[in-house]
Structure 1
Amino acid sequence: MNSDPSAGSADAKSVAVQSIEFVAAGSRDDFDAVIHPDAYNHETRTEPPHTRTRGPASWYATALWLRRAFADLDFEIRHAVADGDLVAVEVTMSGRHVGQFVNYDESGAVDQAFPPTGRSFAVAQSHWVRIRDGQVIEHWADRDDLGMAQQLGWTPPGPAYLARMVWATRRARKTPPD
C-alpha cells in the first residue's frame, strides 16, 4: 500500500484533468479508461438526450456534440486541486463556432439552435469531479455561458442572426438529435 497521501491526490487530479481534456480530442477508448461505468454528468440538461445516460458513452456523446459545433476546441488547465475524492479543475475553454450548436429542453426536444458564426471564444469554467475506483463517478461545472454567447454574437442577436436562429431551430426540430 502506498503510504504517501499526496499520491492519491495526484492520481485523482490526473484522472479529472484527463476527463476534461478528452472532451476536446479524446477517443471512446480514452473515455472508457477514465469514466466509471456508473458515472453521472450533472451538466447534460441542455444537451442531446443520448448524453443524459450514465457511463463513458454519455461523456463521449457530449464531446462529439461540442466538437461538431466548435473547431479548435481546447480546455487550458489553469489549476487542479484535490480534497479526498473530489477534484476542482479551473480551465479556460476556447474554440471557434463552425457548426450548428443545438440546445435541448429537459424533455429532450430542441429548444434553440445557433447557426455557425465563425467567431472564436474563450471562457472560464470550473469543473468539479468526484473520483471512485480511479475513475470519474460524478461531474458538475460552473461555466460562463453568457460570456460565450456574447463573444459568439448569440446575444444580443442582430436581426439577421435572429432570423438565422429561427430557421436553424425549425430545421433542428425536424432532424433527430446528433
Structure 2
Amino acid sequence: MTQTSDAVNVAVRAVTIMGTGTRADIEAVTHQDMVNREAIDEPPACRGTGPDAVWATALWLRSAFADLHHEPHEVVAEGDLVVIHTTMSGRHTGPFVVYDENASVKHAFAPTGRTFAVTQTHWVRMRDGLCIEHWANRDDMGMGEQLGWVPPTPRYLLKCLRAKREAVRADKVAR
C-alpha cells in the first residue's frame, strides 16, 4: 500500500466512523493536535484539539441523529490533503443544538423524526499518517428542508423555542 492510499483510507475512515465508531476507532485516526475547523457551531467540548474533541463531535451528532451514516462517493488526495465527497444520512431523533462563537446555545432544532440525506465534502489534512485538520462544505439548507426546519411552521417554531430553553438550562448545569 502506498503512503497516499494509506492517507485516503485513514481520512475516509475518520469521516465514516462519526456515526458508529468507538472512542478507540477515533483515537486510531486522529492526531493529538487535530483541529476541526467546523467546531465553531458545536458545543464547547468539540472546540478543543485531538481525539477528545473529535469524540465530542461524534457524540453531539449522534445525540441528534439516529442511524447517522456517511457514504463516500469520490476521494481525491494531493500531498497531505484528502478530499472526500459523501452523502450524510440519518434520522432526526434528538434536539440538534447549535452554538455561537462564545460557545453559548444559539439555536435548538426540536426532533422531527424525519430522515435526511445530503451531500458533503470533507477536507482532511494529514500528518504522521493521522488526521490533523478538518473542514467541510455541507448542504445545511437541504438538510433543513428535508427535516422540516425550513420553512418552519408556527408549531415547529414553538417546539424549537422549548428545545432551546431546555438546551440553555442543560448548558448552565454542565458549566
Tell me whether the two structures share a fold, i.e. TM-score over 0.5: yes
Instruction: Give ranges in structure 2 of 5+ residues lacking alignment.
Output: none
Task: Give a deviation string over 1:87-142, Cα, whole Å, max 9, x none.
Answer: 00000000000111100101010001111100000000000001100000100100
CA distance in 2, matches of 1:135, 1:171: 37
Quote the residue 2:8 is aligned against.
13
Is 2:36 the counterpart of 1:38?
Answer: no
Quote the residue 1:133 is aligned against.
128
TM-score, structure 2 normalization = 0.96
Task: Give a deviation string over 1:46-67, Cα, whole Å, max 9, x none.
Answer: 1001100000111111001111
TM-score, structure 1 normalization = 0.95
Instruction: Give ranges in structure 1 of 5+ residues lacking alignment.
Output: 1-5
Is 2:154 the counterpart of 1:159?
Answer: yes
| Percent identity of paired positions between Structure 1 and Structure 2 | 53
Question: What is the number of equivalent residue pairs in this alignment?
Answer: 173
2:18 alignment partner, SS class: helix
CA distance in 1, matches of 2:117, 2:69: 9
Quote the residue 1:85 is aligned against.
80
User: What one-letter code is carried by the residue in structure 1 that aligns with 2:47?
Assistant: R
CA distance in 2, matches of 1:87, 1:163: 41
CA distance in 2, matches of 1:76, 1:47: 22
TM-align CA RMSD: 1.2
CA distance in 1, matches of 2:82, 2:133: 10
The 5 A counterparts of 1:22-171 are 22-171=17-166
